[in-house]
Copies of this chain bind each other. A is one copy, B any other.
């Protein structure tokens, strides 16, 4: 039925061992023999049996990339970068690693499922992107899984996620969300804003918490009171930004600025302000986070914190492949850059 190594061997008049060696290319095989084998492979349209090969060799060429939401460019960009470092530029068939991205949808159960599946497949490496859930049992479960993955020989790299206590040998490339949040609000305060709404991401996520803490830090440093009614939580989507902005306007019509958890949320905020007849930034300034590609095309262009998503992903990919040295202590912080654009300005209604 299906063609096996033995069939190829028979046709090439050599032993299965020789065919295997030709295919793996890590053992001397005479040119003529190799030639003959390769022709047999072609003639028979032979395709290696992956499971059999992984079983015998006790290794696999799978690299898993976990993302929270594959439809969100934030993750898409990182995944694409990781992947570009895993798969060679040419994308050759032989001896290549195969990068697969797994969409957890932000669900800790699915995150765990995928990690188990990756462990089952004896993945060569696993890159986990995006913030972590702060629920203790889940964090412990996932941390434990990451540790076991590491022990089983998979290189584990966290990208845009704080280090996990339970998995000390995982490399972590952490985004400086707190610092970015701090600088963003500093900027707004510097412009003269005092009543600043904050639309945070979902609770219980490290990213959400860190960005919010940066914001609060800036308020505190400037002696601006932190009115808890001006902070709202919601998912990282446009809708959340829209609704929250309306609610903020209701709660505090005197608001002069809105900081959003990320650019997508900020876009929703802009839409809500426009629908209310308010001008950006004259009536209300808006700021985002991440600097996704579309942010520069918003009108006015969005002030935001640029995270080097592609660069960080690429670095994570290289570390996963063992092509770049791990940072000292296995931890590196990736900083964001404040991008001041048209969506923020001095408050008019001060």
Contact = CB atoms under 8 A, between A and B. Distances in A.
Interface in A33-78: 45, 47-55, 60, 69-73, 75-77
A157 interface: no
Nearest to A98: B117
A101 B45 contact: no
Interface stretch (A88-96, A130-138, A221-229, A329-337): A88-96
B51 A79 contact: no
Interface string A204-240: 0000000000000000000000000000000000100
Nearest to A300: B299
Given A49-B120, A90-B109, A297-B267, A79 B70 contact: yes
Q: How many residues of A sit at the interface, in one of the four size bands?
A: 35 or more
Q: Count identical subunits in the complex.
A: 2
Interface of A: 2, 45, 47-55, 60, 69-73, 75-77, 79-80, 83-84, 87, 90-93, 96, 98-105, 107, 109-110, 112-114, 116-117, 119-122, 148, 152, 238, 264, 267-268, 270-271, 274, 293-294, 296-299
Given A92-B109, A101-B101, A267-B294, 4 more contacts: A51-B121, A75-B76, A268-B297, A297-B298
